[in-house]
Each structure stands twice: as C-alpha cells, then as structure tokens.
Amino acid sequence: MQSLMKALIESQLQTYKDLYDTAALKSMLPWLTSHVEQVRAEMGDDFWPYGFEKNEKTLATFLRYSYEQGLSKRQLHPRELFAPETLESFKI
C-alpha cells in the first residue's frame, strides 16, 4: 500500500510541475498558466491534496450531507471509510 501511495504522490508532483511547462502545454487550455496561478492564489500550492489528514474535513462534510439528505442511515465518520492499515504511514 505504501508503494502505491508513493507512486501516486510522485505522479501528483509531476503533474503540478507539468502545469508550468509552457514550452509544450500538456493541455489544450490557452490560458492554463493563468488559471493555475488563480487556483494557487485561492487554494494554495497543494490544490489536489492526498492523504487522510488533509481530506478529513472534506470527508466529514460529505458524510454529514449524506446523512442529512437521507442517503445514509447513520452519521458516518471519515475513519470508518478506510481499512485501519491504510491510515498508517511509516518509513522503512
């Protein structure tokens, strides 16, 4: 699981870098760099955050909405969505 997460993080970092490669844009958006700068100004450098801690508040809000709208029978908590071992991080 840790190897997969490391690969996803590396891919994310490469994607962030590619957004600023103006010699050959990776997307057809003509004002891509301007859009990226606007997003960074409003959302910070890590606007696609990975990891449980960085997304716990968003998950809690989603789960509250789900409960309030009758989509779930009880109020779930973000940690209930994941196997416990997926929430652990370690270095070898």
Which pLDDT tens digit goes with each residue over 38-79?
999 999 999 889 889 999 999 999 999 999 999 999 999 999
Q: Using the predicted structure, report yes or no on whether residue 89 has a pLDDT greater than 90.
A: no
Look at the alpha carbons of 81, 90, 57, 55 in this order and tell me if their dihedral is positive or negative: negative
Hey, CA dihedral for 80, 62, 17, 44, is it positive or negative? negative
Q: Are 9 and 50 in contact (CB under 8 A)?
A: yes
Of the two residues 92 and 5, the one the predictor is more confident about is 5
Interatomic CA distance for residues 70 and 73, integer angstroms:
7
Mean pLDDT over the full length of the chain: 88
The model's pTM = 0.67
